[in-house]
Amino acid sequence: MQSSRKAIGETLLKVENVTLSFGAVKAIQDVSFEIRRHEILAIIGPNGAGKTSMLNVINGAYHPQHGIITFKGQPRHDMDKHEAAAMGIARTFQNVALFKGMSTLDNILTGRNLKMKRGLFAQMLYFGPALDEEVEHRRKVEDIIDFLEINAIRKTPVGRLPYGLQKRVELGRALAAEPDLLLLDEPMAGMNVEEKEDMCRFILDVNEEFGTTIALIEHDMGVVMDISDRVVVLDYGRKIAEGTPNEVRRNQTVIDAYLGVSH
Amino acid sequence: MSQAAWRNISIGVSGFIVLGLGALVIANPGKIFFSWTFFFEVLIGGLLAGTLYSLVALGFVLIFKASGVFNFAQGAMTLFAALSLVRLIEITNSILLSMALTVVIMMALAYVIERLVLRPLVNQDVIIMFMATIGMTFLIDGFGQLVWGSDVYPLNLGIPQDPFEVQGVLLNQFDLVAGAVAALLVAVLAVFFQKTRIGRALRAVADDNQAALSVGIPLRHIWFIVWTVSGLVALVAGIMWGTKSGVQFSLALIALKALPVLILGGLTSIPGAIIGGLIVGAGEKLAEVFIGPLFGGAIENWFAYVLALLFLLFRPQGLFGEKIIERV
Amino acid sequence: MLYRDSGQFKSTYEDDRAIFPIAQDRYAMLALLAVAFVAVPILGNDYWLRSIFTPFLIYSLAAIGLNILTGYAGQVSLGAGGFMAVGAFSVYNLLVRVPEINFILALVFGGLVAAAVGALFGIPSLRIKGLYLMVATLAAQFFIEWSFTKFPWFTNYAPSGVISATPIDMFGWKVEESWERYVLALAVVTAMALVAKNLVRGSIGRSWMAIRDMDVAAEIIGIQPMQTKLLAFAVSSFYCGVAGALWAYLYLGTVEPVAFGINTSFQILFMIIIGGLGSILGSFLGAGFIILLPIFINIAGTGLGLNLSTAFISHMEFIIFGSLIILFLIVEPHGLARLWQIAKEKLRLWPFPY
């Protein structure tokens, strides 16, 4: 694709034989795949295929009954959400999960909380180390605000923003953590064509400029085929196909299970 | 923190408390008087007193089920209903007429609440609604006492209050009546919820009020009905408490005691409210009589809350509540 | 026309994060502090200093404490009164047993004990939320009240259970007169309000608000709910504890559990609802409102030539508080602080509507 892109490298995250069930309902059954450094991986599948559950397993929100997840060479069975964040996994949500009472700026700054180390006493004084730290991180956050072109809404409480902008702020908050792996759960759901184009551009830019590895769930097949390097297809909690967009498009199982039915 | 670690900590803490209490009991042999007859007397007295908690808790559950509002004002409504009744009896000299008037008053109250509080706050956060009911509590308490006065008024509807003995265990007739009334009330409510059209509508609203609206259930109507019903439950509870200890301001504080009952029973379960009330009633009486002396007494004031707190650590949804599933 | 931010360009991020980014606000605040520290003690009469200003300041401090927990970190608590009692009794016990210690150090000690107790009762918040958590805080409230009544050690074996506060001596300054008590309260409250503001505008404050607004999302960006919530409980209880000690030593002159009952907890909750959840300024406005309302009802009654009984006034207070709570929740859930902010925004543009 683009020449400036970092070459897709070794495995960043490996999911092996993951099974997750809620009581009698099997959300994910024996799924394995891997995400490679600097790539954009799309996870697709019909509603209820287990896509969001898969993301939840990867960032520790759900604990699978079986399986091993290896991130940056460290295998684990399950972990806490904030541990995952500390290791460099950030995500956005299907239904925007912003902090509604806070401004755009504070939302994105909160994304950098993990990197802010000043303790209680320094912050009580405010002037001195805490202020230095605050300003240093503010600079980084302002870069992200510039990058996402949301300067005008810097101080607006996010609860008042339209849906499309909220999604953008949420992406900003995830980026603020400078993650190695960025999980996007339907980043373009409910957007119009222009907003989708903008969001696509941001995703590609993030991948290109920062080299961030991205795994995303998306229903719009045009977008998936356009921006992703590889595609994993889930259906009823099982992986039914994996490959480049072109391979998946031609895969008969996928057509039967998904594309053939709904399109 | 993982579930397993949490469970271990909880078990550890509870075990520590039980061991500590055991050690205290052994170390203070003279302070506690124990005999089985006495034990049963206390137990039964506690259970029957617990039915009164259950009655208040029942009003909470009804409203919570139908509107998702945690009605802190249930205790204030109980006091208000009892005050209205007792003062109306003084004025009209007729128990039946006063009852009828009080029912009308409680309906009017339900209407006002629906119109002035619930309707403007629809779709607000649970916690905002809850704080609004704290406001209602003060409003109703202040208004009730302003209109009806704030002394202690004895209430006598002719419910027998004589003690009697069964196999050496002393019981009070009134407590038995209270138990029977509670049972009857639960039966009536169960039929109302399960068998009537309004009951079905109520359950639908409880599940999802948007969906209920979209199939044509009139939400405001339903709210008015359910607040009226819990107003009537408050009246029954008020009559029982008033007969037992006089109609007075402390009735409103029973609402606070109903909170641990709800925690134990689960916010959405009618049988839970009853059983929770029994557990709290019996538990606090037993604790007061048999453990209390070790600490200088009056542990009734907090025992129920601490019991509920310990219980929460193991089973946050209560005995009969629906399991809370968090979605991301 | 005087209130404008035009021409005041913030060229650094430091300036942009200041508490009062607009110069006029800074001057107003300095003027207010000057009046509070100098003019009020000189001009105020004994009644105003003792019965209005001092309790107002102390209630404001307690309201800041509860606001940190409920307004910022989103954990509803009905235990504020209990934590105030812990502070008051800790300071009393320290001063009775170690009389030579400085009062400020004793206050810090009282705050720390309250913080520890608060964190302890905050542990259930890791598992339970909202209404359930409130029951846990009620447990704290009643348990604490009961402990101070039942264990004579806490009251130093005073026969009635009511004890008078020991005289305050700070570096040889004997705090006795009303104006001295007022100035001491003012100094403590000013310093602690500033610290609270610093906390809520930094990363700790943001993690509290993140937990409040959406705890799952907060966890997923790496905020540890346990540390964050327990810190909120501890800091909040520290504030309540210091407020409780000041209440006993500078206002009441006695230390007794009934002064910190469930009604106090409710009152403080009302202050932050009326004043504004999640606002330091709102804590002051709410406290002022609740202190002044009964006085206002009384004056209004006398002004109309009515001879009002105390019972009538207290019932009217209940009714007015209740109605106001509901009114505020419906009309302006962010309380008086938000109204103030709207007024300032309007003033900035005045006389133009936009």
The residue type found at A217 is: I
Q: Which CATH class is domain A11-262?
A: alpha beta
- Calculate the average pLDDT of chain C: 86
Residue C133 tokens read as 């958590």
Q: In chain C, count of helices (H) and strands (E)? A: 16, 4
Model pLDDT, residue C342: 80
Give the integer Cα–Cα distance in Å for A142 and A150. 10
* Cross-chain Cβ contact C142/B120 below 8 Å: no
Instruction: Identify the band that residue A23 occupies on the pLDDT scale cut at 50, 70 and 90.
Output: confident
- In a domain, residue B97? The reply is yes
- In a domain, residue B259? The reply is yes
The model's pLDDT over B48-84, given as tens digits with 9 standing for 90+, comes to: 788 888 888 888 888 888 777 888 899 899 999 999 9
**pLDDT tens string for chain B (328 positions)?**
455 566 666 677 767 677 676 666 666 666 666 777 788 888 888 887 888 888 888 888 888 887 778 888 998 999 999 999 999 999 988 889 999 999 999 999 999 998 998 888 877 777 788 889 989 999 999 999 999 988 888 888 777 777 777 777 777 788 788 888 888 888 888 888 778 888 888 777 777 767 777 777 777 788 888 899 989 999 998 888 888 888 888 877 777 788 888 888 887 788 888 888 888 988 888 888 887 777 766 777 788 888 887 777 777 777 776 655 555 4
The model's pLDDT over C29-55, given as tens digits with 9 standing for 90+, comes to: 888 998 888 888 888 888 888 889 999
Single out the residue of A182, A178, A230, A220 nearest to residue A203, CA to CA.
A182
Cα of C127 to nearest chain A Cα, Å: 15
Kindly list the partner chains of chain C, i.e. chains with 3 or more CB atom pairs below 8 Å.
Answer: A, B
Cα of A208 to nearest chain C Cα, Å: 23
Model pLDDT, residue B1: 46
- In a domain, residue B220? The reply is yes
Residue A10 tokens read as 């070794």
Give the integer Cα–Cα distance in Å for A206 and A189. 19
Rounded average pLDDT over C149-165? 76
Cα of B136 to nearest chain A Cα, Å: 26
Residue with tokens 């409250």: C189
- In a domain, residue B319? The reply is no
Residue C308 tokens read as 């009002």
Q: Give the domain range for residue B264.
A: 31-314
Identify the helix (H) or strand (E) that includes residue B165. Answer: strand B163-166
Q: What are the residue ranges spanned by the domains of chain A?
A: 11-262
Model pLDDT, residue C2: 63
* Cross-chain Cβ contact A52/B328 below 8 Å: yes
- In a domain, residue B25? The reply is no
* Cross-chain Cβ contact A61/B328 below 8 Å: yes
CB contact A64 to C (< 8 Å): no
If one counts the domains in chain B, the total is: 1
**ipTM confidence score:** 0.87
Give the integer Cα–Cα distance in Å for C150 and C155. 9
* Contacting A residues, span 3-62, partner chain C, CB-CB under 8 Å: 59, 61
Q: Which residues of A touch C282 (CB under 8 A)?
A: none
Residue with tokens 């502090």: C33
The residue type found at B82 is: A
- In a domain, residue B7? The reply is no
CB contact A79 to C (< 8 Å): no
CB contact B259 to C (< 8 Å): yes
Q: Which residues of A touch B2 (CB under 8 A)?
A: 80
Q: Could you check whether the bond before residue C152 is cis, i.e. omega within 30 degrees of 0?
A: no
Chain A to chain C, count of Cβ pairs less than 8 Å apart? 107
CB contact B154 to C (< 8 Å): no
DSSP for chain A? --TTSPPP-SEEEEEEEEEEEETTEEEEEEEEEEEETT-EEEEE-STTSSHHHHHHHHTTSS--SEEEEEETTEEES---HHHHHHHTEEEE-SS----TTSBHHHHHHHHTGGG----HHHHHH-TTHHHHHHHHHHHHHHHHHHHTT-GGGTTSBGGGS-HHHHHHHHHHHHHHT--SEEEEESTTTT--HHHHHHHHHHHHHIIIII--EEEEE-S-HHHHHHH-SEEEEEETTEEEEEE-HHHHHH-HHHIIIIIHHH-
* Contacting B residues, span 271-310, partner chain C, CB-CB under 8 Å: 295-299, 301-302, 305-306, 308-309
Give the integer Cα–Cα distance in Å for C249 and C258. 15
Model pLDDT, residue A1: 45
* Cross-chain Cβ contact A102/C210 below 8 Å: yes
- In a domain, residue B2? The reply is no
B269: helix, strand or coil:
coil
A92-96, C308-312, C314-318: which range is least confident on average? C308-312
Give the integer Cα–Cα distance in Å for B289 and C264. 30
Residue with tokens 């639960």: B186
Give the integer Cα–Cα distance in Å for C84 and C240. 5
**Which residues does C contribute to its contact with A (CB < 8 Å)?**
12-14, 17, 195, 198-199, 201-204, 206-207, 209-210, 212-214, 216-225, 231, 278
Q: What is the DSSP letter of B169?
A: E
The model's pLDDT over C262-278, given as tens digits with 9 standing for 90+, comes to: 889 989 998 998 898 89
The model's pLDDT over C171-221, given as tens digits with 9 standing for 90+, comes to: 777 777 888 899 999 999 999 999 999 999 989 999 999 999 988 889 888
| B297: CATH | 1.10.3470
Model pLDDT, residue A169: 94
